[in-house]
Chain A
Amino acid sequence: MDIGTIAKELNLKILSASDRMKNNVTGGYTGDLLSDVMANSHEGDIWITRQVHQNIVAIATLKEHAGVILVNSCEPAKDTLERAIQENVPILISNLPAFEITGKIYDILNEAK
């Protein structure tokens, strides 16, 4: 399941790395505590969070996430977006809260199995 398909199915706005929509999504991680995401998320996860500062790009890169979804229409900080473009990390936005978007993605990933 690639991130582009998820973005399309859930009407997510793509803010960066639109050429990386074939990034493979193998799981999901929802959370806002950076140390926790660093410790417990996996490569290929789509990361669902409301954190908008530029550290999210560093983490997504380090952990090789498929991309980051910002919830509740939280816009990334300016330097976050710049960094995401630079490092080719897909950042997407949803107007839904984390619970809803997580539920929908969980469902999509399960159906794909």
Chain B
Amino acid sequence: MKPAVNSPENNLDNYSFNIEGGNFNDAGTVSTRIKSILKQRGLPNDIVRRSSIVCYEAEINIVSYARKGTVNLTVTSEAVEIELIDEGPGIPDIKQAMEQGYSTASQQIREMGFGAGMGLHNIKTYSDIFDISSEVNKGTSLKMIIKIPQQTPQ
């Protein structure tokens, strides 16, 4: 895996961030950062919101279950693309994991208000295109695409 670089805010269309598994103190910092980037780029509120939500749900999953992960954000004129790749236990049964209410959360995670088993479902709901793949004992990859409505010429 190539090293991730936290890119400065300018006209760059690609950004990468690291997530540390188990670090609940910092959980959410990437999503907050991404929200800020997308807002500064002047994207519509709805697009910013949906992107932040899917990133946040995925970020919490990585912190909750994986050893570490990388977030790659790509912004084009057509879409916001967020890819998360983690190293961790992976998901043995993706279909089951996608079910609302299915959760493998620990007590600690539940006491924090997570672990209701809605995360992947929420991610899918808010994305226009959602891809998930996983390998047990290796890790999980998510890709979310949120399309930016195109201005039609008058």
Contacts and interface: CB of A to CB of B under 8 A. Distances in A.
A113 B30 CA distance: 50
B101 interface: yes
A52 B111 contact: no
Contact of B101 (A32, A33, A35, A52): A52
A31 B41 CA distance: 39
B97 to A, nearest CB: 16
A50 B118 CA distance: 12
A33 B111 contact: yes
Nearest to B116: A50
A1 interface: no
A77 interface: yes
Contacts of B111: 33, 35
Interface residues of B, number: 4
Q: How large is the interface on A (under 10, 10 to 19, 20 to 34, 35 or more residues)?
A: under 10
A35 B111 CA distance: 9
A52 B116 CA distance: 9
Nearest to B103: A53
Interface string B84-110: 000000000000000001000000000
Contacts of A32: 113
A31 B113 CA distance: 11
A32 to B, nearest CB: 8
Interface string A50-93: 10100000000000000000000011010000000000000000
A52 B111 CA distance: 15
A15 to B, nearest CB: 15
B112 to A, nearest CB: 10
9 contacts: A32-B113, A33-B111, A33-B113, A35-B111, A50-B116, A52-B101, A74-B101, A75-B101, A77-B101
